[in-house]
C-alpha cells in the first residue's frame, strides 16, 4: 500500500527540481536566498500566489517537523480536511516565521497544509521514497499478465496458426 498520495510525490519532486534549479551548479546560495526572501515577502502580504511549491520553497528551510510518522500519515491524501492536524506537527525556530506560518494556516489552511507536507517530504525522502521502489500487491497481480503479453504470443495463439492444410482448398 502506498504511504503517500501520488500528487504529494509529484510536488516533492518538483520542489527538489526548483531548489536545484535556483541553486544552480555550482550552488549559488546568494541567488537561492534572494528567491526565498522574495517569496517570504510575497507570502507576508494579504493576497498571495496560491502555489503549493512556491510556498513550500519559501518555508522549507524554516520548518521544524515534529512526529514524522504522523506527517507521513497526513500525506496519504492530498486534499484532506483538518489542516490543524498538520499545523500541530510543524514549528519554526524564528518567531517571525512562526507568526507567518500561523497566519498562513489561518488564512490559507488547505494550501499551507499541502505546502508543509511537501516541504516535509522534500526534507525526509526516506520516509516515502521506499514506496516508489516497492510495487503494490495489487499491481503485482496485473504485472504477471503483462509479462506474458510482452514475451510474445502464447502457445494457444501459435497453435491456431499452425500450418495445417485447409480442407476447403483444393
Instruction: Give tens-digit pLDDT for 17-59.
Output: 999 998 888 888 999 999 999 988 888 887 788 999 999 999 9
Question: What ranges do the domains of the chain cover?
Answer: 6-131
Cell numbers for 31: 541567488
E strand or H helix at 67: none
> What pTM value is reported for the model?
0.74
The span from the CA of 72 to the CA of 74, in Å, is 5
Amino acid at each position: 500500500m502506498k504511504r503517500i498520495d501520488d500528487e504529494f510525490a509529484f510536488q516533492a519532486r518538483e520542489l527538489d527540481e526548483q531548489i536545484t534549479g535556483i541553486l544552480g551548479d555550482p550552488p549559488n546560495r546568494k541567488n537561492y536566498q534572494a528567491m526565498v526572501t522574495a517569496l517570504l515577502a510575497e507570502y507576508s502580504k494579504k493576497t498571495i500566489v496560491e502555489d503549493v511549491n512556491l510556498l513550500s520553497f519559501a518555508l522549507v528551510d524554516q520548518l521544524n517537523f515534529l512526529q514524522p510518522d504522523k506527517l507521513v500519515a497526513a500525506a496519504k491524501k492530498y486534499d484532506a480536511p483538518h489542516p490543524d492536524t498538520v499545523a500541530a506537527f510543524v514549528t519554526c525556530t524564528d518567531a517571525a516565521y512562526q507568526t507567518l506560518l500561523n497566519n498562513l494556516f489561518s488564512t490559507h489552511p488547505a494550501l499551507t497544509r499541502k505546502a508543509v507536507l511537501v516541504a516535509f517530504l522534500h526534507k525526509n525522502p526516506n520516509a516515502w521514497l521506499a514506496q516508489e521502489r516497492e510495487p503494490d500487491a495489487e499491481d503485482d497481480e496485473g504485472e504477471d499478465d503483462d509479462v506474458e503479453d510482452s514475451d510474445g504470443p502464447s502457445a494457444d495463439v501459435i497453435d491456431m496458426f499452425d500450418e495445417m492444410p485447409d480442407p476447403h482448398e483444393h
